């Protein structure tokens, strides 16, 4: 089933979609049988009746093993678009919504290179057509101990990876994001080494929970949220989710990632959400869900342990934090 996204670069009735409107559209999509939510290896919030109906219409059976905790309420789209980390556009959470408007997200290409049989440069519009888009509700948990629940839209990164045929010595995937001093005022500050680079081990990148994200809340991504394409592994801290990707490289050795280079004792390569491994300057045991007053207990692997714990069997998660 195809989920079509409204392109945010085309004129919109308002900058921000009121939640009620968004929910209305979502319900309409579901009733029309267009919302492909669920699927064999798909993590989703509990299904509302209309979504369950849509899944039956689409011939998709929800796999109860992958249904998440039952009280997950989506964050307001306004929270997602106004409380952001995108250091290329400034250090404050409110900087990216202001400054990222200057970033041109079309035309945009993603170059795929390194240890692959089929290196290529793909236009982002071709990415939209490459695989059926799915909506998946995942928690975004950030290292500073805040979280949101977002309906991401994209497709499993594994679909793209299979297409480019990685060679046997491709052990990691590196994501390089845009660094354009003309539109990114944050590049003047050496807070991080630019471009912002992130990475995943090959099995993490191939895991069905890892999404190549092209949208959220039924629309293409807003610039401050990493338009036109970002990556998302929901069991990891948010900084692993590189925004506005321009290059994907398949490499033999562990990529040198931006935050790890800046503070190796504070930010590890794996960065799996782990309440038992504190950040040296703060506890990771609890988190503040944006929009809520009281704090919640943080869950190991952000609550996705059943799906991903096997990837780290035998590894000391304190050492490989
Ligand atoms: N990607 C780039 N290119 N630059 C950044 O500064 N910040 C990361 C990540 N991706 C960042 C980035 C951090 S620290 C977090 S928590 C998430 O994006 C935040 O995503 P959001 O602002 O869409 O919620």
pLDDT tens sequence across 269-287: 999 999 999 999 999 999 9
Distance from the Cα of residue 138 to its chain's centroid: 8
Does residue 142's CB lie within 6 angstroms of at least one atom of ligand 1? Answer: yes
- Percentages of the chain per state (helix, strand, coil), in multiples of 5: 30, 25, 50
pTM recorded for the entire structure: 0.84
Q: Determine which residue's CA is closest to atom 5 belonging to ligand 1.
A: 86
Return mean pLDDT, the chain. 85
Residue 143: predicted pLDDT: 94
- Atom of ligand 1 minimally distant from the CA of 244: 3
| Count of CB atoms situated within 10 Å of the CB of 54 | 24
Ligand 1: which of 92, 238, 244 to mutate, most ligand atoms within 8 Å of CB?
A: 238
Query: Strand 172-177 vs strand 120-123: parallel, antiparallel, or unpaired?
Result: unpaired
Ligand 1: which of 8, 74, 85 to mutate, most ligand atoms within 8 Å of CB?
A: 85
CA neighbor of 284 nearest in space, from 270, 269, 265, 271: 271
Residue 2: predicted pLDDT: 62
Domain ranges of the chain: 13-140+150-273
Beta-bridge partner residues of 200: 173
Query: What does the pLDDT average to over 171-199?
Result: 97
Residue 42: predicted pLDDT: 37
Residue 17: predicted pLDDT: 42
- pLDDT tops 70 at residue 63: no
Per-residue tokens: 165: 């045929």
Q: Are 179 and 169 in contact (CB under 8 A)?
A: no
Residue 84 CA to ligand 1 centre (angstroms)? 7
Query: What does the pLDDT average to over 224-239?
Result: 98
Cβ-Cβ contacts under 8 Å for 117 (sequence gap 6 or more): 164, 165, 166, 167
Residue 8: predicted pLDDT: 81
pLDDT (tens digit, 9 = 90+) per residue, 5-58? 888 876 554 443 444 444 444 443 343 333 333 333 333 333 444 444 444 444
Residue 44: predicted pLDDT: 38
Residue 225 CA to ligand 1 centre (angstroms)? 7
Cis before 136 (ω within 30): no
Comparing 60 with 208, the larger pLDDT belongs to 208
Half-sphere exposure in the Cβ direction for 150 (13 Å, CA): 28
CA neighbor of 72 nearest in space, from 17, 128, 9, 141: 141
Angle between helices 19-31 and 49-57 (to 10 degrees): 40
Any idea which fold 13-140+150-273 has? Answer: Sulfite Oxidase; Chain A, domain 2 (3.90.420)
Rounded Cα distance, 247 and 197, in Å: 10
Cβ-Cβ contacts under 8 Å for 9 (sequence gap 6 or more): 105, 106, 220
Comparing 34 with 248, the larger pLDDT belongs to 248
Q: What percent of the chain has pLDDT over 70?
A: 80
Residue 238: predicted pLDDT: 98
Per-residue tokens: 70: 């039952």
- pLDDT tops 60 at residue 191: yes
Residue 238 CA to ligand 1 centre (angstroms)? 6
pLDDT (tens digit, 9 = 90+) per residue, 88-126? 999 999 999 999 999 999 999 999 999 999 999 999 999
Q: If you search the block for the tokens 């989920």, which residue do you land on?
A: 3
Q: If you search the block for the tokens 């109906």, which residue do you land on?
A: 53
Q: How far apart are the first and last CA of the chain?
A: 38
Residue 142 CA to ligand 1 centre (angstroms)? 9
Query: What does the pLDDT average to over 138-167?
Result: 95
pLDDT (tens digit, 9 = 90+) per residue, 71-92? 689 999 999 999 999 999 999 9
Q: Determine which residue's CA is closest to atom 9 belonging to ligand 1.
A: 239
| Count of CB atoms situated within 10 Å of the CB of 204 | 22
pLDDT (tens digit, 9 = 90+) per residue, 253-272? 999 999 999 999 999 999 99
Q: Determine which residue's CA is closest to atom 10 belonging to ligand 1.
A: 242
CA neighbor of 260 nearest in space, from 268, 272, 248, 250: 268
């Amino acid at each position: 089933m195809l989920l079509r996204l409204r392109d945010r670069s085309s004129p919109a009735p308002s900058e921000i979609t009121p939640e009620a409107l968004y929910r209305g559209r979502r319900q309409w999509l579901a009733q029309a049988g267009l919302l492909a939510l669920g699927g064999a290896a798909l993590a989703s919030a509990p299904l509302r009746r209309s979504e369950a109906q849509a899944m039956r219409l689409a011939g998709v059976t929800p796999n109860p093993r992958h249904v998440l905790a039952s009280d997950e309420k989506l964050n307001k789209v306004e929270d997602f678009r106004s409380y952001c980390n995108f250091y290329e556009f400034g250090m404050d959470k409110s900087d990216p919504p202001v400054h990222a408007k200057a970033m041109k997200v079309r035309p945009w290409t993603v170059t795929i290179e390194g240890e692959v049989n089929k290196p290529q440069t793909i236009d982002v519009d071709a990415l939209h057509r490459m695989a059926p888009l799915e909506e998946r509700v995942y928690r975004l948990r950030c290292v500073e101990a805040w979280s949101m629940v977002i309906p991401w839209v994209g497709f499993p990164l594994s679909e793209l990876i299979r297409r480019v045929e990685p060679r046997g010595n491709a052990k990691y995937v590196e994501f390089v994001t845009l660094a354009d001093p003309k539109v990114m005022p944050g590049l003047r500050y050496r807070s991080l080494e630019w471009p912002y680079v992130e990475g995943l081990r090959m099995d993490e990148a191939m895991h069905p929970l890892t999404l190549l994200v092209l949208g959220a809340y039924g629309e293409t991504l807003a610039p401050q949220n990493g338009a036109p394409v970002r990556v998302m592994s929901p069991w990891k801290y948010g900084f692993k989710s590189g925004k506005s990707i321009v290059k994907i490289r398949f490499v033999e050795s562990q990529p040198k990632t931006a935050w790890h280079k800046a503070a190796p004792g504070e930010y590890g390569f794996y960065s799996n959400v782990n309440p038992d491994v504190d950040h040296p300057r703060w506890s990771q045991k609890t988190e503040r869900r944006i929009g809520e007053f009281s704090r919640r207990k943080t869950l190991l692997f952000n609550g996705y342990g059943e799906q991903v714990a096997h990837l780290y069997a035998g590894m000391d998660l304190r050492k490989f934090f």
